[in-house]
Amino acid sequence: FWLKCVLLGALFGRRVMAQYGKPEYWEERYTRDPDPFDWYQRWAGLKDVLQEFIQPNFSILNVGCGNSKLSEEMYEEGYHEIENIDISQVCIQAMREKYNDKPGMNYQQMDCRELKYPDGTFNAVLDKGTIDSILCGEGSTHNAQKTFSEISRVLKPNGVYVAISHGAPSYRLTYLQRPEYGWSVKIQQVQKPMMGMTASLAPDDKDNVHYIYICTKGQGAEGEKKE
């Protein structure tokens, strides 16, 4: 019986995770539950790492922003040029209304596989759990590659793509180190926050850290781990 429960739990977890790759899941979720919600980490848990690579005067794109408070918390610390995009129109409309008093904080409904920005627009692209969601869905490898290609395209030379992920390097570097993106990849880790403060996209996520992949646009290189 115990083994059956474990197997059913694992199967249910995979089914739930598969929903994360579907746009209609997020539209329904944000309609049902409009309250602010953060996957993985809040700004307080990330700032010591991110401030090393993302300056307040940078133009920043936050992909898959959801209704997270990350951009708000960054704005309060002097980051005043943040474009936020999400696949969900319901979410974007709510966030536009919430932050319409903050100049430079913009929200647009957009698919990160087909960004509507010119080449070389941003100094930095932030991704907190978005690529993890994409990798949960159907056609995950193809969709991840399209997303990374678009992110690389809209980054300025020497721009940085920062992905906060539950995926370990043995899984993520296969995607990030493709030569066509031209990224050099560094990895840092942050401790997971206390239970209940944030959520994970993976129900069987047992590691006690989140990984931060810092991908600098330039000459591609082998990933190195920075403690």
Quote the tokens at residue 191.
């401790």
From CA 53, how far away is CA 120, in angstroms rounded? 17
Model confidence at 27, pLDDT cuts 50, 70, 90, reads low
Query: How would DSSP label each residue in 198-216?
Result: BB-S-TT---SEEEEEEEE
Q: What share of the chain is helix, strand, coil (3-state, %, to 5)?
A: 40, 25, 35
| pLDDT tens-digit readout, 141-169 | 999 999 999 999 999 999 999 999 999 99
Report which of 11, 12, 17 is spatially closest to residue 133, judged by C-alpha positions.
Answer: 17
pTM of the model: 0.83
122-147 pLDDT, tens per residue?
999 999 999 998 998 888 999 999 99
Distance CA 114, CA 70 (A): 23
The DSSP string of 73-121 is HHHHTT---EEEEES-HHHHHHHHHHTTTSTTEEEEE--TTS--S-TT-
Tell me how far apart the alpha carbons of residues 196 and 193 are, in angstroms, rounded to a whole number.
8
Supply the mean pLDDT for the chain: 83
**Residue 132 CB: number of other CB atoms within 10 A?**
26
Nearest to residue 223, comparing CAs of 165, 176, 190, 180?
A: 176
Which residue reads 């008093």 in tokens?
101
CB under 8 Å to 172, separation ≥6 — which residues?
Answer: 163, 165, 211, 213
Average pLDDT over residues 15-44: 70
pLDDT tens, position by position, 64-99: 999 999 999 999 999 999 999 999 999 999 999 999
Tell me if 34 sits within 8 A of 67, measured CB to CB.
Answer: yes
Tokens standing for residue 73? 């918390």
